[in-house]
Every structure is written in C-alpha cells, then in structure tokens.
Amino acid sequence: MSLPLYYKIYRELQFKIGSGELPSNSVLPTDAELQDHYGVSRAPVRQALKALEIEGLIIRGAGKRTYVADRKRENPWFTECGFTHHFEKEWDNITCKTLNIGLKKSEQEISTFLGIPQKQDIVFCERIRLVKEIPVVFMQNHFSIFYNIDVFSRAGDFLSLKELFFCHFHKEFSEVEENLVAIAAEGIISDHLKVSEGTPILKLTRYSYDLEKRPLTMDYQFIRTDIWQYKNTIKQKRSI
C-alpha cells in the first residue's frame, strides 16, 4: 500500500522546516509551483499545507504567499533519539497514525513525574509509527490538561508531538531521559504491533522536560526490535 500523495508532500516539507532547510519566515513555493514540483493535482498540495498549518509550522493568508512560521529551533525533531539512524535511512517510508486522543485518570508513575495528584485527569494520546505500512512503534503520550486537547485532536495523524508543543505552546523539549526494558508483547500492544502474544519487544519510557527542567510529557513506546534496533553513540571529550 503506497503512501497518500498529500502525506509525502507534508512529510518532506515538515522535515525541511524542522531541519532549517526552510528557515523561519521563508516563503514557500506557490500552490501551483508545488503541484508542478510534485507532479500532483491541487487537492493533495492543499491537504499537505493544511496539515502543516494545523501543526503551526506555516502561516497561510487569503490571497497571500505561504511562509514558515517564526521559529527558534532549527534541529530535526528526531535528533535526540536512539532510533535516529532508522529515521534517516527510512524517512521516505515512515508514517504516523493517531489511534486515540482523550482524557484519563493518571496512574502513580505518571502523577509522580508530572507533579500532580494521583487519579487527576491528564491528556493521553495513542499513536502508531509505521514503516512501509508495517507497525513498528506503538506510542502512548501523557501530559497535563493545561495543554489544550483540541490542538492534538485537530492535528490528526501528526508526525511529531514535539512540534505541536513547540509551535502551539512555545514549549521546547530541552532534555529527555529514557529507560529501556525488554518485555513480552501482550493485549493491545501485540494487537497494534501485529505480533503474537509473548513476542519479545522493547519498552522505552521517555521523560521529557522543558527549558526550565519542568516535566512536559511522559511517554511509553513499544518497539518491534525485529525491525528497529536502539542505537546510542557516546562521544568522550578529550582532556587537555
């Protein structure tokens, strides 16, 4: 199954904006120029630009050119990640699908990290990251109800939680802690990853902080290690 045309355009422009290739306030090609460039009709171009607008990455005005929203961060959204090598290699085949967004009562571990009472309402979001339409990562994101749930609902099948926080709430992920453990896939996890119950997978817990070292999100990621493997490079500074 091939990727939707609009998604290919959206993903490529999203990467160029995140990497700084299209810097803040730069003007995008016209809709007609994008149609010619990608060899598509008007509809997928408009759909891709609408998705970028919802994420807060571009600004479109009636009868005006489209330009990149004013941004300070110019690093790709996946740079602080043990799967960067997979993103770089397989970017053209990666999609995300949002499964569920809503409110739920926080569990003890999440409450402790976010600094809120247990059983208090929090926002949760469940998504799947796919490679060539094969589910590779099942994600569960948790954060405070201070962040308007409508932003995430309107974003649909968004690629990056980090971009939504940055563009809509002016919150930058400045530090991330990760905890890795091998587990056996069970229940909805095996269902979403399309693996048999008991299949060994990797559970990654991410604790994300803002610039003031205040907690932003606590996320669980369940990864098919038969497709993606975690890799981290540590560089030792030389002493003089």
What pLDDT digit, counting tens, does each position of 41-88 carry?
Answer: 999 898 889 888 877 788 887 667 888 887 654 445 555 678 888 887
Domain assignment present for 236:
no
Is the pLDDT at 203 greater than 90? The verdict is: yes
Contact 142, 106 (CB under 8 A): yes
Structure tokens at 127: 């998504």
Say which CATH number the domain at 156 has.
3.40.1410.10
Q: Are residues 205 and 168 in the same domain?
A: yes
The predicted structure's pLDDT at residue 106: 93
Domain assignment present for 30:
yes
Q: Are residues 37 and 124 in the same domain?
A: no
Q: Are residues 47 and 88 in the same domain?
A: no
Q: Are residues 58 and 91 in the same domain?
A: no
Q: Which of 173, 167, 181 is nearest to 207 (CA)?
A: 173
What sign does the dihedral 155-88-228-180 (CA atoms) show? negative
Q: Which of 34, 37, 41 is nearest to 60 (CA)?
A: 34
* DSSP 8-state code for residue 186: -
The predicted structure's pLDDT at residue 1: 45
What pLDDT digit, counting tens, does each position of 1-36 carry?
Answer: 466 788 888 888 887 887 778 888 888 988 899 999
Contact 135, 192 (CB under 8 A): yes
What is the reported pTM?
0.78
Q: Are residues 135 and 198 in the same domain?
A: yes
Q: Are residues 155 and 207 in the same domain?
A: yes
Contact 132, 93 (CB under 8 A): yes
Q: Are residues 188 and 107 in the same domain?
A: yes
* Residue 194 neighbours by CB under 8 Å, 6+ apart: 134, 135
Strand partners of residue 126: 100, 140
Q: Are residues 134 and 196 in the same domain?
A: yes
Q: Are residues 9 and 125 in the same domain?
A: no
Distances 125 to 141, 170, 173 between C-alpha atoms, Å: 5, 20, 17
Say which CATH number the domain at 21 has.
1.10.10.10
Domain boundary among 17, 39, 68: 68
Number of domains forming the structure of the chain: 2
Q: Are residues 27 and 96 in the same domain?
A: no
Mean pLDDT of the chain: 86
What sign does the dihedral 130-5-52-69 (CA atoms) show? positive
Structure tokens at 212: 């003031």
Domain assignment present for 151:
yes
Contact 74, 184 (CB under 8 A): no
What pLDDT digit, counting tens, does each position of 95-108 carry?
Answer: 889 999 999 999 99
Q: Are residues 168 and 214 in the same domain?
A: yes
Q: Are residues 32 and 58 in the same domain?
A: yes
The predicted structure's pLDDT at residue 62: 63
Domain that holds residue 17: 5-68
* Residue 86 neighbours by CB under 8 Å, 6+ apart: 131, 228
